[in-house]
Amino acid sequence: MIMNNARTGRKYSINTTLIHGGNQIDERTGAVSIPIYQTSTFKQDGIGKNRGFEYSRTGNPTRKVLEDLIADLEDGVAGFAFASGMAAITAVLSLYKSGDRILISRNVYGGTYRVLDKVFKNFGISYSILESEDPEDLGKAITDDVAAILLESPANPLMSVTDIRAFSKIAHEKGVKVIVDNTFMTPYLQRPLELGADIVVHSGTKYLGGHSDLVAGLAVVSDRETAERLAFIQNATGGVLQPFDSFLLIRGIKTLSVRMDRHVENACRIAKYLEASEDVSRVYYPGLETDSGYEVNSRQAKNGGAMLSFELKEGHDLGRFFESLELISLAESLGGAESLVCHPSTMTHASMPENIRKAAGIADGLIRLSPGIEDADDIINDLDHAIKESGA
C-alpha cells in the first residue's frame, strides 16, 4: 500500500510511514527517538525572533513530530494532538457556530453524543441522529442548517458500517463537511480522507497508543484553511497533549501495524468461535462474510478491524459471565495489548438516554470485546469458560 504524503509530496508505504512519518529524528542532536521536550517556554533570540517554538500550548517539538506523523499517516495537510479523544472532538466541533446542525451516525461513542447534547447544544449548535447507514437516508436528513456529519465506521458498539465514499459524495454536493472518527480502524486499516472525508479524529488512547497507558486525542484535516482555524482553536482553548504523552503515543504508533495484524487475526478467530457457539444469539463483526456491513467495509478498509460485539442467548446471566472471566478484563476502553470487554449499556453508552440507545439497537445484553494480542486460544478458552458459567 503506497501513501501519497500530501505534506512533503514523497511516497512511502504505510509500514515505513509508521516509523519515519513526521521526521522523527531530532534535528539538534540526531537522536533517532524524538526527545521529550519537557519545557513550557522557549528562549527567543530577540523580539519576534524565535526558533520555531514560543510556548508549549502553541507548539512543542515532541508534539509537533506526533502531529506531523498522524498527518502523514492519514494523508492530510496537518495534524493536531489533544489531551484526549474528547478534547480532539470538542476542538473540531468548535469549528462550527450557533445555528449550525451536526448529523451524527446512530451509534457513535456515548461521549460524542454527550458533548453535543450537554455542551454544544447550550451554544446553539444542534445535532440530529441519522436513522440508518443508508446513503439515501442521508440525503433526506441534510437540512439547510446541517454543517457537518460526524460518523464512525465501524460504529461503536454495533460495528455498523457506513459507506464513507458515498456519504462524502452526497454531503459535498450539499456543501456539508464529513468528519470521521477513525479510532476503531486506525490509518493502518482505513484512511477516511482518501475516501473523501474532510476531517479525521482519533482517540489516541486506543490502538494508536496501544498499551492502555495514556489518554490522548488526534485530529487531521485535508485543507489549509481548516488547518489554520483548528490551529487557532487548539491554541485558544488549550486542551493540548503533553510532551511525555506525545512521546508515548509516537512510540506506540511505531508498532501499530504488527499489533493490528495480531489484533485482527485474533478478532477473526474469536468471531468465528462466537458465530458457531450455541450460546450466542448474535455476533457483530464486519470481518465476517455474514455481517451486513461486510461488503461496504471490504471496499473501504483493509479488513474488518479488531472490535466485535455479541449477545448471549436468553437465560444467560450477564453478571456471572463478566465475573467468570479470568484473562479478559471488564474495563472501559479498547485497543490495548490486553483483551478488554465492556457492557456498553452501563459503560461506554450509559451517557445516552435509554430510548436513544434502544433506537440505535444497543441491547442491554450486548457485550463488546476488544481482543488483545495474547494467544487467540487462551482468549477463546476464557470466553468459553465464562459463557458456560453464565449458562442457564
Ligand X SMILES: Cc1ncc(COP(=O)(O)O)c(C=O)c1O
Question: Is-catalytic flag, 181?
Answer: yes
Give the shortest CB-181-to-ligand X separation in angstroms: 5
Give the shortest CB-216-to-ligand X separation in angstroms: 6
Q: Is 12 helix (H, G, I), strand (E, B) or coil?
A: strand
- Per-residue b or e along 226-244, where b marks 16 or more CB atoms closer than 10 Å to that residue's CB: bbeebbebbeeeebbbbbe
- Residue 266 CA to residue 375 CA, distance in Å, equals 8
Catalytic: which of 100, 181, 291, 382?
Answer: 181
Residues in Cβ contact with 182 at an 8 Å cutoff, skipping those fewer than 6 apart: 74, 190, 191, 192, 200, 201, 202
Closest among 192, 219, 216, 209 to 253, alpha carbons compared:
209
**Computed from CA positions of residues 285, 289, 291, 292, in that sequence, does the dihedral angle turn out positive or negative?**
positive
**Computed from CA positions of residues 116, 121, 124, 128, in that sequence, does the dihedral angle turn out positive or negative?**
positive
Residues in Cβ contact with 382 at an 8 Å cutoff, skipping those fewer than 6 apart: 325, 326, 327, 328, 339
Q: Phi and psi dihedrals of 156, rounded to 5?
A: -85, 120
Catalytic: which of 7, 12, 26, 57?
Answer: 57
Q: In this structure, what DSSP letter does residue 54 have?
A: S
Question: Is-catalytic flag, 57?
Answer: yes
Catalytic: which of 106, 177, 191, 206?
Answer: 206
Give the shortest CB-150-to-ligand X separation in angstroms: 10
Give the shortest CB-321-to-ligand X separation in angstroms: 22
Residues in Cβ contact with 221 at an 8 Å cutoff, skipping those fewer than 6 apart: 76, 77, 78, 80, 198, 199, 227, 230
Residues in Cβ contact with 190 at an 8 Å cutoff, skipping those fewer than 6 apart: 153, 164, 182, 300, 301, 302, 305
- Residue 37 CA to residue 188 CA, distance in Å, equals 28
Q: Which residues of this chain interact with ligand X, rule CB under 6 A?
A: 84-86, 109, 111, 152, 156, 181, 183-184, 203, 205, 215, 217, 333
Nearer to ligand X, 120 or 273 (CB): 120
- The set of cell numbers assigned to 36 is 521529550
Give the shortest CB-380-to-ligand X separation in angstroms: 24
Nearer to ligand X, 85 or 196 (CB): 85
How far is residue 315 CA from its own chain's centroid?
34
- Residue 79 CA to residue 127 CA, distance in Å, equals 25
- Residue 115 CA to residue 99 CA, distance in Å, equals 17
- Residue 353 CA to residue 142 CA, distance in Å, equals 24
- Residue 239 CA to residue 234 CA, distance in Å, equals 7
Active centre residues (catalytic): 57, 109, 181, 206
